[in-house]
Amino acid sequence: MNYNNQKFQKVYFNSPYPLKILLSSIYGYKQKEETYGKYFRDYLKLLKNLEYADNQILVNELEFNKKKFVEFAIKNSPFCKETYIDIKNFNEFPILTKNDLRKYKEKLIVDSLIKVSRMVHTSGTSGSALIFPITSKCFQREYAFKAMHYSWAGIDVLKKPRIATFSGHPVANPTRDKAPFWVYDFVNNWLVFSSYHINE
């Protein structure tokens, strides 16, 4: 569910279970529309074309995209500008921790991408969740990789296969001590379990 809308979360947590299923499915529909768009299809096609490619072709693809990313970051990110990273030496690019991302968040965000971004989050299961923006292109690319992985097991995510998942989504209030600790999203055919309620 949406980490950035506390009012919605409060309504959801206090709703009877059938309404939670409906709300989760409405949210699931929105997610589906935002996930499987043009970028998703383009990246999935690219991944399938590269799946059995020669190693050198993959290395060339990696180097091309790495160079493009670093050049963009150095040109547009206040953090990279202030850090004086040399484009000729990729090894100088700093490795950032979660704490660094929290500390330098405003300087890492590229203003021109905010309008085409959405907020995402880490699960928070190993500490406090980290909330940050990514572009729709990046978001859909990530799901193209996931779809590719599923395809190796003969699963086509676009055909609504039955999926059960444990994730950091607050499908049940973290303070809740009675089942259900899960919710069904009938739009995507997913049963989503709360990872906050896993114990030995």
Whether residue 120 is contained in a domain is answered as: no
Domain identity same for 97 and 149: yes
Domain identity same for 47 and 84: yes
Domain identity same for 8 and 24: yes
SS (H, E, C) the chain: CCCCCHHHHHHHHCCCHHHHHHHHHHHHHHHHHHHCCHHHHHHHHHHHHHCCCCHHHHHHHHHHHHHHHHHHHHHHCHHHHHHCCCCCCHHHCCCCCHHHHHHCHHHHCCHHHHHHEEEEECCCCCCCCCEEEEEHHHHHHHHHHHHHHHHCCCCCHHHCCCEEEEECCCCCCCCCCCCCCEEEECCCCEEEEEHHHCCC
Whether residue 9 is contained in a domain is answered as: yes
- Global pTM reads 0.78
* Structural domains in the chain (count): 2
Domain identity same for 64 and 148: yes
Domain identity same for 98 and 176: no
Whether residue 132 is contained in a domain is answered as: no
Per-residue pLDDT tens, the chain, 200 aa: give them. Answer: 555 578 888 889 999 999 999 999 998 999 899 999 999 999 999 999 999 999 999 999 999 998 898 888 888 888 888 876 676 777 777 788 888 888 888 888 887 777 777 888 776 666 677 888 889 999 999 999 999 999 999 999 999 999 998 877 788 888 888 889 899 999 999 999 988 778 75
Domain identity same for 83 and 167: no
Domain identity same for 164 and 96: no
Whether residue 118 is contained in a domain is answered as: no
70 is in which domain, residue-wise?
36-109+141-154
